[in-house]
Amino acid sequence: MNQELQNELSRQGVVLTTIEDLYNWGRKNSLWPLQFGLACCAIEMIAASMARFDMARFGAEVFRPSPRQADLMIVSGTVTKKMAPQVVRLFNQMPEPKYVIAMGACAICGGPFRDGYNVLQGIDLYLPVDVYIPGCPPRPEALLEGLIHLQQKIARQRLTGPERPRHLEENVPGEFPVPQFGPHDLVGPRLCKTRTPDANS
């Protein structure tokens, strides 16, 4: 639809939309995060969901304790190598469409614990991260900012055509490979090919 015509009509009090926009509008305003925290960032996430910062204003307050009912994974904190397979499994068990927010320096790249022998250097090695929120830990406002960015990203998603998201493709597998415990490190395929392997392994 012509954007100019749509604007003109909305000025006259006639709202026109597409099914796609309506669908995205509904989804972006009712994100259900998975209720799990990994480290100190989780405290900020809890604060963001409480009355002072009130994530409910953006429709994302329904933290679900089961991955089957959640469509947003907020990776809040340090992902250890022991925890990484469980995190990937939880993500795999969430229904599509689903999104990942990497909250804090640890979830992005390992943060201050990056050189630790047991710390995963970023959850984006195994999960497709939509929004990165820097900080150590990020304040609740930063999480809300990240959430708003995710909402804008959802609003831009297409239902059809070549730019549609991964889960709408018929032949793309729905599950991400779960890393396995090797003798020294996690083994298994990784998403991000450009990174160098861990210095400690």
Write out the residues near another protein by the rule CB under 8 A.
Answer: 66-68, 86, 89-90, 92-93, 96-97, 159, 167-170, 173-175, 178
Listed in sequence order, the residues at least 6 apart from 29 whose beta carbon sits closer than 8 Å to its beta carbon are 58, 59, 151
Q: Are 133 and 106 in contact (CB under 8 A)?
A: no
* Residue placing its CB nearer to another protein in the complex, 25 or 58: 25
User: Closest approach of Cβ 82 to another protein, in Å?
Assistant: 9
* Residue placing its CB nearer to another protein in the complex, 156 or 167: 167
Between CA 166 and CA 108 the distance in angstroms is 21
DSSP 164-189: S-GGG-SSS-SSPPPPEE-SSSEES-
Q: Are 77 and 42 in contact (CB under 8 A)?
A: yes
* Residue placing its CB nearer to another protein in the complex, 45 or 109: 45
* Residue placing its CB nearer to another protein in the complex, 112 or 182: 182
User: Closest approach of Cβ 46 to another protein, in Å?
Assistant: 18
User: Closest approach of Cβ 41 to another protein, in Å?
Assistant: 19
User: Closest approach of Cβ 63 to another protein, in Å?
Assistant: 14
* Residue placing its CB nearer to another protein in the complex, 6 or 92: 92
Q: Is the peptide bond preceding residue 137 cis, with omega within 30 degrees of 0? A: yes
User: Closest approach of Cβ 67 to another protein, in Å?
Assistant: 6
Strand (E) positions, 42-95?
Answer: 72-76
